[in-house]
Amino acid sequence: MLALLLVLRLIHILAAATLVGSVIFNYFLLRPALRLIPPAHAVVIAQRVGSLFTYTGWTALVLLFLSGLLQLYYTGRLWLLISLDLYTHGPGRSLALMLLFWLITVTSSSIMTFGLRPKLMKKLTVSSNPTLADVEKRRADQISASAWLDRWQLVNLITSTLALIAGASIAFGGLF
């Protein structure tokens, strides 16, 4: 049982580090670098790397959820998630904050993956015989989606980092 808990904790820590690390890399390194190269090249790179980040991010979020839930289950504390006793102690309040920030991260990732990313990846088909107005409309939609993507990436950066801090503080008695 102890070995299982250690493996779950290791998975949880590695998933958190992967998520936060990839969000930091994406926001502070990749995003500014893409602005320095020609748009046609930036689109191709962003599509390739964006797909990798999408899979990596969602895998980390699912692993965080499952490993955290299983840790609570195997320690007999799963009931705390539906109890007001969660808020009576520092570690419980930190756990609640971690869950809240994880949920916000999942929400913003969903908006980016299922709402904004398809707009950025949308191509005009040759068979549709696009007019100049169609091309301009698609370009305007992509510029708007790109601006919103930057905002949601910042939300992900903040919430995943705060979830990491709240989760790490549980081992030390919580944040407050």
Tell me: the pLDDT tens digits for 15-63? 999 999 999 999 999 888 888 888 777 777 878 888 888 999 999 999 9
Residue 175 inside a domain? The answer is: no
- Is residue 35 a part of any domain in this protein? yes
Q: Among 10-19, 36-45, 92-101, 126-135, where is mean pLDDT lowest?
A: 126-135
Domain of residue 26, residue span: 2-170
Distance CA 43, CA 21 (A): 23
8-state DSSP, 100: H
- Asked if 70 and 8 count as a contact pair (C-beta separation under 8 A), the reply is yes
For residue 155, tell me if it sits in a domain: yes
What number of other Cβ atoms are within 10 A of residue 170's Cβ? Answer: 17
pTM attached to this predicted model: 0.86
With respect to residue 95, please indicate whether it lies within any of the assigned structural domains: yes
Q: Total structural domains in the chain?
A: 1
Is the residue at 176 inside a domain?
no
**Cα-based distances in Å from 176 to 53, 72, 104, 117, 158:** 33, 21, 21, 38, 19
Is 121 inside a domain boundary?
yes
